[in-house]
Amino acid sequence: MSNLDGKKVLLGVSGGVAAYKAVDLASKMRSAGAEVKTVMTESACELIGPKSFEAVTAGQVYTSLWTIEEYKIGHISLADWADIVVVAPATANIIGKTANGICDDLLSTVLCVCWEKPLIVAPAMNERMWNNPVVQQNIEQLKQMGADIIGPESGNLACGTTGIGRMTEPTDILERIKQKL
């Protein structure tokens, strides 16, 4: 498939500095023909505003379990809507929640429902966090559950060091989405 015409992508954005790259990813997915809905964690909203995603996706951004239409069970309707779910950036926090079934915000709750859908996870964090045995255990758990882990990459990190932990570039994530669909 050369494009994403008619495909529905649910983009989860967690609170990593790489959240700014997720705006580019959302724009690229939309340009490729996908319909994109975005779910942001509270921490992601501290780093980049939902309006940026609204502008590039021409759609509502979901930030809370309590702001979706009253007559729908929001996390279920978002999960049912999607053809594929992409989490970029995926922090150690959201990776741990997903691997262990913790549902304490909209994104983690949606991810608990979406386990039967194609899931692409693009980790982004400090190298020491990435190499933490618990994070690696959680990554292995996600893989066993069928998640496709893309990255992280090596390079300059937000903390000023160089190492593994950079989120994979949006163009590469887009290509992986096309492969999965």
Catalytic residues: 159
Q: How far are the Cα atoms of 28, 93, 98, 139 from residue 143, in angstroms, in the given order?
A: 26, 16, 11, 6
CA distance 161 to 37: 33
Helix axes 106-113, 74-81, angle to 10 degrees: 50
Torsion of CA 157, 57, 170, 101, to 10 degrees: 70
**Phi/psi at 87 (nearest 5 deg)?**
-110, 115
Here the tokens at position 1 are: 């498939």
Output the CA angle 147-150-153, nearest 5 degrees. 150
Whether the link from the prior residue into 152 is cis, omega within 30° of 0, is: yes
